[in-house]
Amino acid sequence: MTALAAHPQGNESQEFIAFHVGSQMFCIDIMTVREIRGWTPATPLPHSPSFVRGVINLRGTVLPVIDLAVRLALPTTEPTARHAVIVVQNHGQLVGLLVEAVSNIMMVPPDAIQPTPEMASEACRSFIKGIVASGKEIINVLTTQNLLPHPIPLGA
């Protein structure tokens, strides 16, 4: 596998963190990632959107955790010790993304990222900015800017 860089210059490859949600592979720009941690049960918040799993304590900071399976309308599972939380910076806010497993860091040349197919829904195209075909795997390149609301609505 390969990875993506934050601001590619010309033909430079970019570094991405690759992970599994259900049976699918996704990746996000490594420059948005602050840390990766094991699953910690989240405290649910009343009246939160269904994709907000709850909040956890990240060294004294309340961190909202988004269940990517729910957000992407994929089958969900109950989190286990195998699950991970990818902490990303989004619109100046730290947010945790619950994923089933982090697989690797990949370097991807810009020309390897193909556009999201036109027949995909508008919601799909707003979350997925491209697709990388790597061997037999199809990896969806997510964009956190549209995936996460600004700011994350916590409770009502």
pLDDT, tens digit, for every residue of 5-60?
A: 334 445 688 999 999 998 899 999 999 999 999 999 999 999 999 999 999 999 99
Residue 65 lies in a domain: yes
Reported as a single tens digit per residue, the pLDDT across 106-153 is 999 988 898 887 766 666 667 888 899 878 889 999 988 877 765 555
Single out the residue of 60, 64, 109 nearest to residue 85, CA to CA: 64
- Position 1 in a domain: no
What's the mean pLDDT in 64-91?
Answer: 91
Task: Identify the sign of the CA torsion 23, 25, 28, 34.
Answer: positive
The answer to whether residue 156 sits within a structural domain is: no
pLDDT of residue 153: 54
- Check which CATH number belongs to the domain holding 91 and give it: 2.40.50.180
Residue 128: give the domain boundaries: 14-147
Q: What global pTM score does this model have?
A: 0.84
- Tell me whether residue 2 is in a domain: no
Burial code of 59-71, b = ≥16 C-beta within 10 A, e = fewer? eeeebbbbbbbbb
- Total domain count, the chain: 1
